Amino acid sequence: MILAIIHKVRSNGLPLLVAVALLFQVDANAQTRKRTETRPANELSRLREDFIKATKDYKTSLAKLLAIYERNVSSSEEKLVQAQKLFAEGLISRNQLVEAETAVAAAKGKINEAQSQMANADTQIADTMLEAQAEAQMSRTPLRKGSLVRTTSYIRFSGAGTWALSDAWRVQRFFQDSFKRQLPVGVFGQGAIHDRWRLDHRNAMDVSLHPDAPEGQLLMNYLRANGIPFLAFRTAIPGTATGPHIHVGRPSHRF
């Protein structure tokens, strides 16, 4: 392109300032194309970072609640000891003692719940980071036809046959014959969420089935047996999946 501009300057006698402007325009166009190409990847990275930050903030708030719950347990246990003494002396009723025991159990239950939620937050962060690493590795090494990849959050089958959205009736008929009900299609073709995430979903459909459920397992077996590509998500992935479902078709590329 630059050589063509130089040739144009020489042949047409363009002023030097015009030539410089043309060169700057070429550079600006190249930079614009570069930003456009990298924006989807950068946006997905930002979504993941925001998700991890929000999850860490949530875990921090849980830690503060946990400290309060632990103090409540200590206070409830002290009251229970007093209630046991008073009951032994016949100064309070059996119901009052039971109330004190119930308060201790409830306070300990809140601690267990908070600890469980903190553990889940750690798992979500680990899964998100693992997913980013898996996608980076997969982008460097394209899958061969018929290959199957399993990660913590999703299953990907590259498929060995052809697929078009017009073939969806085959999948729908299989499910209808197998389970005597309609295939639970969440999104057929391009949806609003795919527009927002800049995903080309025009040649795919999302089925609202958990991949680990019996119906999801049977559907994936059918897709593999017929060489139909799919992505089965076990959980939500920021910028990629809103929740568990089976994406029938090639992976949605970003635009």
Q: In sequence order, what are the residues at sequence separation of 6 or more whose Cβ sits closer than 8 angstroms to the Cβ of residue 59?
A: 118, 121, 122
pLDDT bracket for residue 19 (50, 70, 90): very low
Q: Side chain identity at 98, as an amino acid letter? A: V
Average pLDDT, the chain: 79
pLDDT bracket for residue 57 (50, 70, 90): confident
Query: Which class is domain 1-141?
Result: mainly alpha
Give pLDDT, residue 239.
Answer: 64
What's the pTM value of the predicted model, to 2 decimals? 0.49
CA distances from 164 to 34, 110, 144, 233, 250 (A): 31, 51, 19, 21, 9
**Would you list the domain boundaries of the chain?**
1-141, 144-248
Least confidently predicted of 21-25, 48-52, 126-130: 21-25
Beta sheet of 245-248, edge-to-edge order: 148-150, 154-157, 230-233, 245-248, 205-207, 185-188
How far is the C-alpha of 229 from the C-alpha of 194, rounded, in Å? 19
Give pLDDT, residue 21.
Answer: 43
CA distances from 109 to 62, 115, 122 (A): 14, 10, 20
What 3-state DSSP class applies to 145?
coil
pLDDT bracket for residue 51 (50, 70, 90): confident
pLDDT over threshold 90, residue 168: yes
Q: Which tops the pLDDT comparison, 102 or 196?
A: 102
Q: Which tops the pLDDT comparison, 131 or 193?
A: 193
Q: Which tops the pLDDT comparison, 226 or 16?
A: 226
pLDDT over threshold 90, residue 95: yes
pLDDT bracket for residue 104 (50, 70, 90): very high
Q: Side chain identity at 86, as an amino acid letter? A: L
Give pLDDT, residue 137.
Answer: 55
Give percent above pLDDT 70 in the chain.
Answer: 73
Nearest to 145 by CA among 155, 159, 131: 159
pLDDT bracket for residue 238 (50, 70, 90): low
Q: Model confidence over 132-152: pLDDT tens digits?
A: 665 565 555 556 777 888 877
Give percent above pLDDT 90 in the chain.
Answer: 42
CA distances from 197 to 41, 44, 186 (A): 11, 8, 17
